[in-house]
Amino acid sequence: IRDSTAGVGTLTFYCPLNGAYGALGHPITDIDTGEMLSVSSGKIVPSKIISVQPGVRGKPGELRGLFIESEDELGNISKNTACGIYGVASKKIENNIYTEPISVAFQSDIKEGPAKILTTVDGTDVKSYDIVIEKLTNQAKPNPKSMIIRITDPELLQKTGGIVQGMSG
């Protein structure tokens, strides 16, 4: 039985009207068994990325961060699902790129080809990076593996070697 777990992850969406958010894009799992953890309660807190362990073929890298404990928690975790964690923010979640909300795309709006991802790989600032969506998978029900992307941004490739743990979402 696990009584706690912690990790750095990416916020997928946030609705400023009601505070609802989703994050990770995959479930929180037991480090030993790989099984999805049952979550009775939890919280999200601000973090600062302090280093990146770049990925190499056959071994995923990871974002390494610290929780900023001097700041208030950002919200609760009420659900852990195959597609990520969900909850309600207890305060406004802001970033350094967008001052106004942007819409989450429907599956039918997403096309293969050049695109952008937003992520933080150093400190707390969100940056935009170039990618290519190489393949989309049509889904009849929610599934965390909906597309294959390739990082094309030279700066992001230099820092991470590609997608690393902590960037999904």
Question: Nearest to residue 17, comparing CAs of 104, 76, 105, 101?
Answer: 101
Residue 42 · residue 27 · CB < 8 Å: no
* Catalytically annotated residue among 26, 47, 72, 146: 26
Distances (CA, A) of 142 to 84, 120, 126, 137: 11, 26, 27, 11
In this structure, the number of other CB atoms found within 10 A of the CB of residue 83 comes to 19
* Catalytically annotated residue among 78, 130, 146, 153: 153
Residue 153 falls in the annotated catalytic set: yes
Residue 51 falls in the annotated catalytic set: no
Residue 122 falls in the annotated catalytic set: no
> Which residues are known to be catalytic?
26, 153, 168
